[in-house]
């Protein structure tokens, strides 16, 4: 047995199980007690990491965001101007990513009427917009789009496409195999960039 518990790893492990539980039983029925049972820990241990449900959901949300960010970073390391690749890395086209979106939908639902959560979501969205703008500026430098394009407007359009598709896919996954998602994304990117 290890002498020291890796608390960060355990917190992440518990958050991962929380994400699965949200997809299975819903955020309404997710409790620290239920989570402890699913994770095989005592309620006391889980309570040590998450004092209440809000803290649990907040951490789970941030974990999902970190995972998503890591995938986007990987795309950008290889090709710093690959906007479609970035957005594609966030599409809910497999189990893991659908779970991320489930966590986000659950969080959005909780953020209504919860100023702290709403602020977190706003900050996160603005961060995404900024990242998309950075990629667009790189594209402009390479001459792939016009240097005087309205990067802010374009970034908003791309975030719209991503969130809007994810809502449709999230509640109708059978209708949205990966190929359809990618085709739709490509089409939207082409249409939006044609004006840039």
Q: Which residues bind its own copies (CB under 8 A)?
A: 21-29, 102, 105-114, 118, 121-122, 125-126, 153, 156-157, 159-165, 167-168, 170-172, 184, 187-188, 191-192, 194-195
The tokens for 161 are 């496409």
**CB 41 to its own copies: min, Å:** 21
Residue 140 CB, shortest distance to its own copies, in Å, is: 19
Minimum CB separation of residue 164 from its own copies in Å reads 3
Give me the count of residues in the chain.
196
Closer residue to its own copies in complex, CB, 129/140 = 129
Tokens of 96: 């893991």
119: its two tokens: 């602020």
Measured from the CB atom, the residue of 5 and 127 that comes closer to its own copies is 127
Nearest to its own copies of 113, 143 (CB atom): 113
Instruction: Determine the Cα–Cα distance for residues 76 and 80; give it in Å rounded to an integer.
Output: 4
**CB of 11 closer than 8 Å to CB of 59:** yes
Using CA atoms, how far residue 120 sits from 7, 22, 25, 110, 168, in Å, is: 24, 19, 24, 12, 23
To the nearest whole angstrom, how small is the minimum distance from the Cβ of residue 78 to its own copies? 27
């Amino acid at each position: 047995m290890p002498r020291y518990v890796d608390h960060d790893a355990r917190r992440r492990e518990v958050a991962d199980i929380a994400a699965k539980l949200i997809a299975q039983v819903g955020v309404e029925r997710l409790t620290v007690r239920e989570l402890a049972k699913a994770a095989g820990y005592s309620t006391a241990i889980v309570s040590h990491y998450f004092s209440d449900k809000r803290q649990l959901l907040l951490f789970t949300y941030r974990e999902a965001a970190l995972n998503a960010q890591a995938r986007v970073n990987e795309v950008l390391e290889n090709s710093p101007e690959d906007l479609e690749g970035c957005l594609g890395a966030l599409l809910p086209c497999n189990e893991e990513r659908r779970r991320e979106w489930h966590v986000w939908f659950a969080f959005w639902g909780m953020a209504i009427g919860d100023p702290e959560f709403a602020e977190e979501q706003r900050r996160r969205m603005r961060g995404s917009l900024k990242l998309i703008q950075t990629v667009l500026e790189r594209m402009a430098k390479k001459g792939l789009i016009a240097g005087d394009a309205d990067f802010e407007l374009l970034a908003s359009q791309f975030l719209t496409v991503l969130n809007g598709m994810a809502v449709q896919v999230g509640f109708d996954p059978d209708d949205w195999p990966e190929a359809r998602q990618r085709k739709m994304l490509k089409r939207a990117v082409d249409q939006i960039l044609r004006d840039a």
